Chains A and B, each alone.
Chain A
């Protein structure tokens, strides 16, 4: 048994039935299809890549600060500011020493790092939806939670978000 060989014979069988003057066109079209398929695959594969050099450049200063903190565990930003440590300015503290003001964007009062890095797609979705329409989404999320607690859905978005509640691990 050789399924691949059988397929090839079948293709060849149909190919020789094509009039001679049409064969070049069929061959050319097949080649285009193959190139197209290959390009599609490469495009998908390319989705899962990023420019590591750019990322490294973007993170260079923070890497430096992180390295300092790893060598000096327990150091706070307040300590660094009071000591006049120039690295403290890298994180751009402009409003006193307030941890929550120094982390990423806030959604529903929750810093982005909680949503983004430690939550999976639910966090992403919430951030995305809130970005679209903060007030309505906030209401929807609250409605979702309340609705879930009561065992009812309260809106379309609440129903969408309600699917999260069905996850049972």
Chain B
């Protein structure tokens, strides 16, 4: 094989592999619904669309229910915009890079992004079809923080269990119904169970019509928040 053809062949083989490595994914857009039920019976439903571009680092929710509102998480602020006017601006830690969207686009969802933090993988076990990793906080943080256990099935994040420092379960999350869109695997459903004093509350997040790396609709992925200040 001539060098030119060999190079082309390698390029053709390597390109999907590089893409599968997650470096090529930048945008995700999906319809979202979040259903919550508290132990006292209080229920809530939030529906709309979410757009995220990992270069812009803005999580933008175009909510339609209960009311039409746009929520923009940008830098250290969360803006709520109704009918073009900012109805509130809240100061927050920067959130975008810790979102499920960013983790999925950057191929760090499988370990919940913990491999890039001071948490350390303490133990790894295989149990049936699950690979379970126990992550422990750094020594300096063991007073306020507990361990986190992560279960991976079929190389996809399945479950996350959060403990308090006394090893009491605080929260369980399950990532289910994965959908592969344009080669990117993203959960269609996240089940979250919070446990306080043994009493459970539930939250189910559903993603539908997931679109990856949508080429158009740039304005959907960036909100000019500077114009709002």
Binding site for B on A (CB under 8 A): 41, 44-45, 47-48, 50, 55, 58-59, 61-63, 65-66, 69, 73-78, 90-93, 97-100, 102-104, 108-114, 116-126, 128-129, 132, 141-142, 144-145, 156-157, 159-161, 163-164, 166-169
Residues of chain B in range 1-43 having any CB-CB distance to chain A below 8 Å: 33-38, 42-43
Question: What DSSP secondary structure best describes chain A's contact surface?
Answer: helix
Interface size band for B: 35 or more
Top 3 closest pairs, chain A to chain B, by CB: A77-B66, A48-B159, A117-B205
Contact at B100–A55, with CB atoms within 8 Å? no
Neighbouring B residues of A62 by C-beta, 8 Å? 35, 37, 43, 45
Contact at B160–A121, with CB atoms within 8 Å? yes
Neighbouring B residues of A92 by C-beta, 8 Å? 42-44
Q: Which of A75, A128, A159 contacts B170 (CB 8 A)?
A: A128
Q: How far is the CB of A21 from chain B (nearest CB, A)?
A: 37
Binding site for A on B (CB under 8 A): 33-38, 42-47, 50, 54, 59, 63-69, 71, 73, 76, 78, 80, 88, 90-95, 97-103, 106, 108, 112-114, 116-118, 125, 127-128, 130, 132, 138, 140-141, 144-145, 148-149, 151, 158-162, 164, 169-172, 174, 190-194, 202-206
Residue from B34, B63, B76, B191 whose CB has the most chain A CB atoms within 10 Å: B34
Q: Which of B91, B101, B116, B140 contacts A167 (CB 8 A)?
A: B116
Residue from B36, B80, B203 whose CB has the most chain A CB atoms within 10 Å: B36
Q: Which of A98, A121, A123, A166 contacts B148 (CB 8 A)?
A: A121
